[in-house]
């Protein structure tokens, strides 16, 4: 199976299960995670410690996991590849990235100004990268997470689900309000609401947690695709300012479902885990509608988006499964799973270069005939 442009008669894989949005809930005979050394060996290695280094990553013995038929479709190489090699399974441990940071360490878009009790004002650029006066959902998603992180008390964002009810403008300030639903020693949850000129724009539910040591570990294999160094950047790709995207060539299909993969890297390390998450969130929001249109390019002109076609992200969910460094290449794989009734549902996964699944996402969006001519600067 190779990653190659799909012809009009291509049928792709019949499995229909790639990419997974979350790791499997439990190991099976066919897919088991790395085997951990026995307790005696662990005590000998760690001196009996029960802290975060009790299970050293060096003690993890990777076990090969079979690819699904659909994932195998991404296994072609063009000028080099990145694959899950024996002995390379590793992830950033909970202690590897310090929690606290100065506000000046953050990119300007992620800097928030406190204006009241759990109320914050976000930074607003003059306009979107597209030149439109519609605030990009990926920008708001990152800012919503940063607002929750401000009061997290050392916890990491585990997941965020945002509903974008109205389009925001760059012409006036946006304010965020954080309300705590629950805050315990290990878990916490917030709702974060964005308002502009008294209008509710969007609301997110944010789940936070303190990371624990592994009880067990497994996850899916990363598709075998050309590596970061073998590909060229795409200046048109939607990414956080300062990030670079390098798409994997080809237009693979899983049956009727279009697939896409691209490497993503930010131009500098960020200390705060939430800042790394916010930068990545931007890159997960903007591709799925266009990807859904790809098999229908003979009947749907995506160039008419916001003119005669009404398109926009309505709901977006992100799960953060491990810490990661956004200044290192991350592989974002996604599929436009279903297009019907003027809607698009898609999902995706994010892997490190070592093949560790670190994030997964899902999106509900709108893609329909507008019924009238729209103003592309302000319309969805």
Which CATH number do you get for residue 198? 3.10.129.10
Q: Are residues 270 and 353 both part of a single domain?
A: yes
CA-wise closest residue to 101 among 283, 247, 271: 271
CATH number for 273? 2.40.160.210
Query: What's the number of CA atoms in the CB half-sphere (13 Å) around residue 130?
Result: 20
161-208 pLDDT, tens digit each: 999 999 999 999 999 999 999 999 999 999 999 999 999 999 999 999
CA 89 to centroid of chain Cα atoms: 20
Q: Are residues 283 and 317 in the same domain?
A: yes
Same-domain status, 143 and 111: yes
- Report the 10 Å Cβ neighbour count for 117: 7
Find the helix packing angle between 273-285 and 137-150, rounded to 10°.
160
Confirm whether 19 is domain-assigned: no
pLDDT above 70 covers a percentage of the chain that reads: 69
Smallest Cα–Cα separation from 284: which of 341, 243, 226, 225? 243
Task: Evaluate whether residue 130 is within a structural domain.
Answer: yes
Do 133 and 183 fall within a single domain?
Answer: yes
Considering the domain architecture, whether residues 242 and 354 belong to the same structural domain is answered as yes
Residue with tokens 């005590």: 43
Residue 16 to residue 4: CA distance in whole angstroms: 18
Same domain for 174 and 292, yes or no, is no
User: What is the reported pLDDT for 349?
Assistant: 99
Q: What is the mean pLDDT of residues 155-165?
A: 98
pTM for this prediction: 0.74
Task: State how far the Cα of 160 lies from the Cα of 189, in Å rounded to an integer.
Answer: 10
SS3 186: coil
Evaluate whether residue 160 is within a structural domain: yes
Domain that holds residue 195: 103-208
Query: In this structure, is residue 113 part of a structural domain?
Result: yes
Burial of 372 (0-12, 13-18, 19+ CB in 10 A): exposed
Answer whether residue 12 is part of any domain: no
**Residues 199 and 231 reside in one and the same domain:** no
C-beta of residue 128 within 8 angstroms of C-beta of residue 135: yes
Considering the domain architecture, whether residues 304 and 273 belong to the same structural domain is answered as: yes
Q: Is the domain of 252 the same as that of 361?
A: yes
- Check whether residue 60 and residue 73 sit in a common domain: no
Question: Cβ distance 56 to 323 under 8 Å?
Answer: no
How far apart, in whole angstroms, are the C-alpha atoms of residue 85 and residue 354? 8
pLDDT (tens digit per residue) in 299-351: 988 787 778 888 899 999 999 999 999 999 999 999 999 999 999 999 999 99
| CA separation for the pair 118, 121 (Å, rounded) | 10
Q: Which of 147, 177, 208 is the last residue of a domain?
A: 208
Structural domains in the chain (count): 3
In-domain check, residue 263? yes
User: Per the domain annotation, does 11 fall within a domain?
Assistant: no
Is the residue at 270 inside a domain? yes
Q: Provide mean pLDDT across the span 108-127.
A: 91
- Answer yes or no: do 247 and 352 share one domain: yes
Kindly state whether residues 136 and 263 are assigned to the same domain: no
- What pLDDT was estimated at residue 303? 81
What is the tens place of the pLDDT at every residue in 218-232? 999 999 999 999 999
Q: Is 116 exposed, middle or buried (0-12, 13-18, 19+ CB in 10 A)?
A: exposed
Largest CA distance in the chain: 71
């Amino acid at each position: 199976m190779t990653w190659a442009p799909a012809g009009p008669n291509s049928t792709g894989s019949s499995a229909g299960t790639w990419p997974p949005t979350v790791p499997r809930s439990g190991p099976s005979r066919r897919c088991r995670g790395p085997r951990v050394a026995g307790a005696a060996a662990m005590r000998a290695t760690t001196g009996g410690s029960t802290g975060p280094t009790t299970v050293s990553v060096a003690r993890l013995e990777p076990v090969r996991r079979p690819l699904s038929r659909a994932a195998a479709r991404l296994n072609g190489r063009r000028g080099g590849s990145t694959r899950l090699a024996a002995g390379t399974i590793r992830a950033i441990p909970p202690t590897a990235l310090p929690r606290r940071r100065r506000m000046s360490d953050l990119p300007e878009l992620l800097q928030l100004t406190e204006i009241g009790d759990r109320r914050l004002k976000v930074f607003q650029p003059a306009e979107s990268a597209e030149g439109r006066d519609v605030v990009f959902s990926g920008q708001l998603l990152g800012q919503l997470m940063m607002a929750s992180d401000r009061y997290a008390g050392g916890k990491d964002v585990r997941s965020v689900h945002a509903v974008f009810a109205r389009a925001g403008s760059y012409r006036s300030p946006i304010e965020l309000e954080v309300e705590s639903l629950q805050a315990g020693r290990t878990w916490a949850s917030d709702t974060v609401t964005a308002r502009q000129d008294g209008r509710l724009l969007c609301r997110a539910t944010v789940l936070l947690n303190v990371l624990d040591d592994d009880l067990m570990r497994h996850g899916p294999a990363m598709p075998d695709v050309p590596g970061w160094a073998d590909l060229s950047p795409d200046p048109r790709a939607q990414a956080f300012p300062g990030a670079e995207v390098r798409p994997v060539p080809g237009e693979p299909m899983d049956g009727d479902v279009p697939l896409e993969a691209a490497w993503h890297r930010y131009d500098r390390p960020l200390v705060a885990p939430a800042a790394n998450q916010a930068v990545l969130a931007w890159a997960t929001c903007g591709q799925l509608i266009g990807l859904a249109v790809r098999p229908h390019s003979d009947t749907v002109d995506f160039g008419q988006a916001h003119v005669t076609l009404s398109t926009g992200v309505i709901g977006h969910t992100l799960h953060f499964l491990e810490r990661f460094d956004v200044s290192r290449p991350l592989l974002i794989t996604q599929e436009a799973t279903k297009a019907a009734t003027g809607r698009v549902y898609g999902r995706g996964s994010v892997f490190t270069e070592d093949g560790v699944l670190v994030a997964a996402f899902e999106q509900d969006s709108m893609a329909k005939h507008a019924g009238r001519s729209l103003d592309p600067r302000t319309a969805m």
